[in-house]
Amino acid sequence: MRDRLAKLNWIDLFLWVARAAIVLVILVGTVKTLINNPYTLRNWEDFIIFGIAQGSMYALIAIGYTLVYGVLQMINFAHGEFFMSGIFASTAAVAIPLSRAGYLESHPVPSLLLIALSSIVVSVLISLLTERIAYRPLRHAPRLMPLITAIGASFFWQYYFRGLFGAQAIPFPTIPQLAGSVPFLHTQVLKPHILVIFVTFVVLVALNFFISSTRPGKAIRAVAENKDVAALMGIDVDRTISLTFATGAAMAGVAGMLYALVFQQVHFFMGFIPGIKAFTAAVLGGIGSIPGAAVGGLFLGLFESLGPSLFLQSLGIPAFNQLKDVIAFTMLVLVLIFRPQGIVGERLKEKKA
Partner 1 sequence: MSLVTNLDLRKTAMKWLIASLITLSVSAIGMVELFGERFVITGLFTMAQVMFLGPTAVFAYRAVQETPQAQKWLGLLKALLIGLGVGLVMMALVWLSQNIDIRSVFINISPKLINILTFNGSGSLTLLLAMVGAGLAGGVLALVPTKLRTALLVGGGTTILTGLLSEILAERLRSLFGAQVSNAIFASKALQLVPAIVLFVLITAFVYFRSTGHIKPANIRLPAGRERLVLTALISGFLLVLPMLLGSYLTEVTNNIGLFFLMGLGLNIVVGLAGLLDLGYVAFFAIGAYTMAALTSTGPLGLADMSFWVALPICVAVAAVAGFILGMPVLRMRGDYLAIVTLGFGEIIRILALSDLMKPYIGGAQGILNIPKPMVGELSLIRPEQMYYVILIGVAVAMFMSVRVRESQIGRRWMAMREDEDVAEAMGINLVSTKLLAFTIGAGFSGLAGAIFASKLGSIFPHSFNLLISINVLSLIIVGGLGSIPGTLVGAIILVGLPELLREFAEFRWLAYGVLLVTMMLSRPEGFIPSETIRRELHSGDEAEQAG
Q: In the range 58-77, which residues lie near partner 1 by CB under 8 A?
A: 74-75, 77
Closest Cα to residue 271, out of 156, 131, 149, 143? 156
Q: In the range 86-145, which residues lie near partner 1 by CB under 8 A?
A: 92-93, 96-97, 133-134, 137-138, 141, 143-145
Alpha carbon distance 332, 340 (integer Å): 10
79 vs 193, which CB is nearer to partner 1? 79
Alpha carbon distance 121, 90 (integer Å): 9
49 vs 310, which CB is nearer to partner 1? 310
Other C-beta atoms lying within 10 Å of the C-beta of residue 249: 32
1 vs 319, which CB is nearer to partner 1? 319
Check binding of 229 to partner 1 (CB under 8 A): no
Instruction: Rule CB under 8 A: choose which of 106, 107, 152, 202 binds partner 1.
Output: 152
137 vs 180, which CB is nearer to partner 1? 137
The answer to whether 25 and 301 have CB atoms below 8 angstroms apart is no
CB of 84 to partner 1, least distance (A): 14
Check binding of 317 to partner 1 (CB under 8 A): yes
Beta bridge partners of 171: 265
**Crossing angle (nearest 10°) for helices 290-307 and 272-284:** 120
Applying CB under 8 A, which part among 40-48, 111-119, 296-304, 321-329 lies near partner 1? 321-329
For the chain, the straight-line distance linking the first and the last C-alpha, in angstroms and rounded, comes to: 30
Check binding of 158 to partner 1 (CB under 8 A): yes
Residues 6+ apart with CB under 8 A from 282: 62, 63, 65, 66, 69, 292, 293, 296
215 vs 349, which CB is nearer to partner 1? 349
CB of 171 to partner 1, least distance (A): 14
Instruction: Rule CB under 8 A: choose which of 39, 103, 156, 210 binds partner 1.
Output: 156
- Distances in Å between the Cα of 36 and the Cα atoms of 27, 31, 269 are 14, 9, 39
What x/- string results for residues 270 through 299 when contact with partner 1 is judged by CB under 8 A? ------x--x--------------------
Beta bridge partners of 190: 181
Where residue 180 falls (left for φ over 0; alpha for ψ -120 to 50; beta otherwise) is left
110 vs 163, which CB is nearer to partner 1? 163
The answer to whether 351 and 344 have CB atoms below 8 angstroms apart is no
DSSP designation for 176: G
Other C-beta atoms lying within 10 Å of the C-beta of residue 193: 21
CB of 93 to partner 1, least distance (A): 5
Size of the site for partner 1 (CB under 8 A): 57
Check binding of 159 to partner 1 (CB under 8 A): yes
Check binding of 149 to partner 1 (CB under 8 A): yes
Alpha carbon distance 302, 298 (integer Å): 6
- Distances in Å between the Cα of 206 and the Cα atoms of 88, 176, 201, 213, 251 are 25, 28, 9, 10, 11
Check binding of 348 to partner 1 (CB under 8 A): no
74 vs 194, which CB is nearer to partner 1? 74
CB of 80 to partner 1, least distance (A): 12
Q: Largest Cα–Cα distance of the chain, in whole Å?
A: 78
Instruction: Rule CB under 8 A: choose which of 1, 11, 35, 232 binds partner 1.
Output: 11
Alpha carbon distance 54, 337 (integer Å): 25
- Residues contributing to the site for partner 1 (CB under 8 A): 9, 11, 14-15, 18, 74-75, 77, 92-93, 96-97, 133-134, 137-138, 141, 143-149, 151-160, 162-166, 276, 279, 317-319, 322-323, 325-326, 329-330, 332-333, 336-337, 340, 352-353
